[in-house]
Amino acid sequence: MSALRTPPENLHEESIARGATCSHARRLRSQPKGHYSRLFPKPARPIAREEEAKLIQLGNAMRYKVEREGTLTPRVGYTYFGQFLGHDLTHDSTPFDGPYHAPEQTSNYRTPSFDLDHVYGGGPEKSPYLYEGEPGVEFFKIGATIPTGYLRDLPIAHGMVLIGDLEDRRNLDNLILRQLHVLFLKFHNEAIKQLDSNPAIAGLEELRSGTVFERAHRLVRWHYQWIIRHDFLPRILHTDVWNYQEQRANRHPDSGESYSIPIEFSLAAFRFGHSMVRNAYRLNCRQKRVVIDELMTLGQQATPIHDDYLLEWGTFFDGLPSSGPQASASFIDTSISLAMHGLSPGTIRLANELESTHPSNLPVRTLLRGARAGLPSGQEVAEALLAQGKIKPEDRLTISQLTEDTADHSGSVLRDIGLQQDTPLFYYLLKEAELKAEGLCLGPIGSHIVSEAIQGALEADPTGYIAAVGRKWKLPNWRFPSGSMRPINSLIGIVQLVGDDKLLPECEAHWRRFLLPT
């Protein structure tokens, strides 16, 4: 397999791949690509450091009394697609213990646009260890599973998994995210091929400039952005907000107003996905229940994925073959999977090797980080959106709603610690989703924050599809392995295009028996 045979192409890259440099030096090589911003004013009554015990108590209470796996929630694949695009949009390296600076002075090590820089790295020139092929027609290297050699893993060299940003390894957080990352490598490689063999792709007027690599990169990015807007957002946003956002005026990238990611999104609203994580997943007919702890361990290992752990994407998304039932994400509510209450040091340090690993409880870390960064309370955000005419008075949560015990006893804890009138934004938005949207999607307030950040990033990108060809871009026809010609308008389409809808042999036999009429 070429990824194992081909070493990085210069001493600097080799030292990175071997992990030979110290953590501090590796961290310093990254350069900020922007900063953060605020959507709302600072909190009137911030939570002081001496009051943080209250947040620790609240975070510890954010767990199920009895495990509830969602029904009618988005399929489980969208949990991890959300994690994937979140890693593309924001990387705040502020240490957990601080110091915390104003958002405008806090570096974002990701571009504030959906450009897949965590996949492409610096391109063939700056990240040559990712690529192979002739100059200007570079393909991604793909890793092989063991023992069969399915091309469905990330490349590995010198004991390190090779990804777009070797200093930000968050896409190795778990096995599902790792295999989702591979889908985009293979999508790029297929774009390279079809720019040569498919007139419907090669003839696109908007792709005529640049090398074949640059044209493929643009094509992959635009489809990714289109899928975020049309396949992902409608599944997670409240219907009222989606309908409102469809009528919003475009942000113009040439207006001179730079775009930055709001901290209300990065530190609270988009962390709603933590509550969608299930305790365990069925991967295929060989692995019918794998707990999230094991998935994290497998995702981070610098060894090839074993065949036994290949995902059946039909379990994670509708419309694809699967030897078992499709699975939905956990409800969006205040209860977080038990595994998230005790993260391993390796998981915590994926984005920053110097990070403090205490506490290991993810909801506690999220609440403390939000308070230290100066997030407004849920009530302050609700009042601001009401004043802007973006929500109705009845959209706000009452004290009785916030302190109600539903899936867990965190409501009582919120009352006992005296934060029912100054509720942490992260907690407020999860409770809102549970009570205003039945846990199936975000509530109105959370939806406004997420939509503003994501659609703002899409519209502000001067090289994105909205700026280049407009919202109504007509998707081109791709040639699929079956020979059919059709557009790619979902993640399902990418899986089918690159051939990763195939099942392990005995799993396919299970699926075909299921299809046979009785």
- What's the structural domain count of the chain? 1
Which residues touch 252 (CB under 8 Å, ≥6 apart)? 459
Return the structure tokens found at 125: 């020139």
Q: For position 24, what pLDDT does the model report? A: 30
Strand, helix or coil for residue 204: coil
Q: Is residue 133 part of a domain?
A: yes
Residues with Cβ within 8 Å of 11's Cβ and at least 6 positions away in sequence, in order, are none
With 0-12 / 13-18 / 19 or more C-beta atoms within 10 angstroms meaning exposed / middle / buried, residue 303 is: exposed
Who's near 363: CB < 8 A, 6+ residues apart?
A: 58, 59, 60, 62, 274, 336, 340, 341, 426
Domain-embedded: residue 482: no
Q: What is the pLDDT of residues 292-328, one digit of tens each?
A: 999 999 999 999 999 999 999 999 999 999 999 999 9
Instruction: Name the percent of the chain in helix, strand, coil, to the closest 5.
Output: 50, 5, 45
Instruction: Give the mean model confidence (pLDDT) for residues 114-132.
Output: 96
Whether 319 is in a domain gets the answer: no
Rounded Cα distance between 415 and 403, Å, is 6
Judged against a pLDDT cut of 60, whether residue 20 lies above it is answered with no
How far is 260 from 104, CA to CA, in rounded Å?
A: 9
CATH code at position 294: 1.10.640.10
Residue 286 has pLDDT above 70, yes or no: yes
Q: What is the pLDDT of residues 144-157, one digit of tens each?
A: 999 999 999 999 99
Strand 34-37 to 261-262 pairing: parallel
39 assigned to some structural domain: yes
- Is residue 116, in this structure, part of any structural domain at all? yes
Domain with 92 in it = 2-303+327-467
Please give the structure tokens belonging to residue 64: 């199920």
Q: Which residues contact 66 (CB under 8 A, 6 or more apart)?
A: none
Using DSSP, how many helices (H) and how many strands (E) does the chain show?
25, 11
> What pLDDT digit, counting tens, does each position of 413-460 carry?
999 999 999 999 999 999 999 999 999 999 999 999 999 999 999 999
Would you call 176 helix, strand, or coil by DSSP? helix
Q: Looking at the domain assignment, is residue 500 inside a domain?
A: no
Closest CA to 324 of 315, 335, 332, 316: 315
Reported confidence tier of residue 31, pLDDT bands at 50, 70, 90: confident
Across the range 237-247, mean pLDDT stands at 82
Query: pLDDT tens for residues 140-186?
Result: 999 999 999 999 999 999 999 999 999 899 999 999 999 999 999 99
The alpha-helical segments, DSSP class H, found in 390-488 are 399-402, 410-416, 425-436, 444-460, 465-469
